[in-house]
Amino acid sequence: MIRIAMLSPIAWRTPPRHYGPWEWIVSQLTENLVARGFDVTLFATGDSQTKGKLQWVCPRPYEEDKSLDPKVWESLHISNVFEQAENFDIIHNHFDFLPLNFSSFIKTPMVTTIHGFSSPKILPVYKKYNKSNVYVAISEADRNKELDYIATIHHGIPAQDYTFSPNAGKYLLVFGRIHHDKGVHEAIQLAQKVNFPLVIAGIIQDEKYFLEKVKPFIDGQHVRYIGSAGPDTKSKILSNALALLHLINFDEPFGLSVIEAMACGTPVIAMNRGAMPEIIKDGQNGFLVNSMEEAENRIAMLNQIDRTFCRKTVQQKFSVENMVDKYIKVYEKILSG
């Protein structure tokens, strides 16, 4: 039996109460590995939930408890894993680049899932440990040409946990963090042009952006902000939408909300950037656009999308089972030498 140390971030709980895409994927991977008989120890916050073994030093997520200094608790959290490295066959790092700095001090192999590059400034760390560590990309688009990868593994979700609606809703939806990168203001502009109500769900990651580009348009009728949607409410919000608007201003590493919407049968209109072409089949489960004008034109074409096909996309290509299968193959390849 492979003994796995699963290193999750501690910004949010694993699984998250509402926002926390990295923590959500860590939870899905952990719980499904445990269900298959793997010996998994989850290193996460103390309030995290798992059917595996839980190890923690940070009692709560620092984004939910501002009295916790992120640098202090991240240091303690990471060191807790490496001090016990000899107890595991493999360490699976979902904590970005920081743990790489300690990898040369242990004999236990470590695989790092790179959940996107927050900035080009962190690349030197990945480059330094490129030959001594194993990297997994979450999309072909997010691969960096200066790094080597053992695999590309798309995120997977349990489609059966998402409520499917065969009928299109009456509002457009933005689902995710409120930030310029996610194109929330552009979604507001589009909704106004096509005269559809817009629902915005997500954490406010950029307060200035929210106050200047989003809040002035919120009227509770044409534009509604409902806060961050957790596991208990997101299916209803996603399944009742006419479409998810993903009018991003950056190269999206993956786009978890995109497959969550599709699992509910909801098509996606997305800017043709980053990993979007790997998820969206233009004209079949959504539309890839290159301008706001194109996005506006596609609204009238949404009735051509088969919502059943949207869900099948997730079931066939982005299921949690597929994701777990591929990670198991990575573990076996690493341990076989």
State residue 42's pLDDT score.
Answer: 98
Residue 318's identity, in one-letter code, is F
Q: What tokens does 8 get?
A: 């999750």
Compute the distance between CA of residue 251 and CA of residue 261 in angstroms, rounded to an integer.
Answer: 19
Compute the distance between CA of residue 164 and CA of residue 314 in angstroms, rounded to an integer.
Answer: 12
- State in words which class domain 3-156+319-335 has: alpha beta
Q: What are phi and psi of 289, to 5 degrees?
A: -130, 160
Q: What tokens does 183 get?
A: 């194109």
State residue 231's pLDDT score.
Answer: 81
pTM of the model: 0.96
Compute the distance between CA of residue 303 and CA of residue 299 in angstroms, rounded to an integer.
Answer: 9
Residue 325: CB partners within 8 Å, gap ≥ 6? none
Give me the helices (H) in 83-233, please: 123-128, 184-194, 207-209
Per-run averaged pLDDT (10 residues), the chain, 337 residues: 96 94 97 98 98 98 97 98 98 97 96 93 97 97 97 97 94 97 98 97 97 97 93 92 98 97 98 98 98 97 97 98 98 93
Q: What are phi and psi of 160, to 5 degrees?
A: -65, -20
Q: What angle do CA 314, 315, 318 make, to 5 degrees?
A: 45
Among 206, 225, 204, 205, CA closest to 216: 225
Choosing among 3.40.50.2300, 3.30.70.20, 3.40.1160.10, 3.40.50.2000, the CATH entry for 159-317 is 3.40.50.2000
Q: Where are the domains of the chain?
A: 3-156+319-335, 159-317
State residue 119's pLDDT score.
Answer: 86
Q: What tokens does 314 get?
A: 């997730």
Residue 97: CB partners within 8 Å, gap ≥ 6? 122, 125, 126
Burial class (CB in 10 A: 0-12, 13-18, 19+), 98: middle
Helix axes 184-194, 292-299, angle to 10 degrees: 50
Among 168, 218, 167, 212, CA closest to 192: 218
Task: Look up residue 178 and give its DSSP letter.
Answer: B
Domains 3-156+319-335 and 159-317 in one fold = yes
State residue 232's pLDDT score.
Answer: 81
Beta bridge partners of 280: none
Q: What are phi and psi of 81, to 5 degrees?
A: -70, -50
State residue 230's pLDDT score.
Answer: 82
Among 182, 237, 239, CA closest to 214: 182
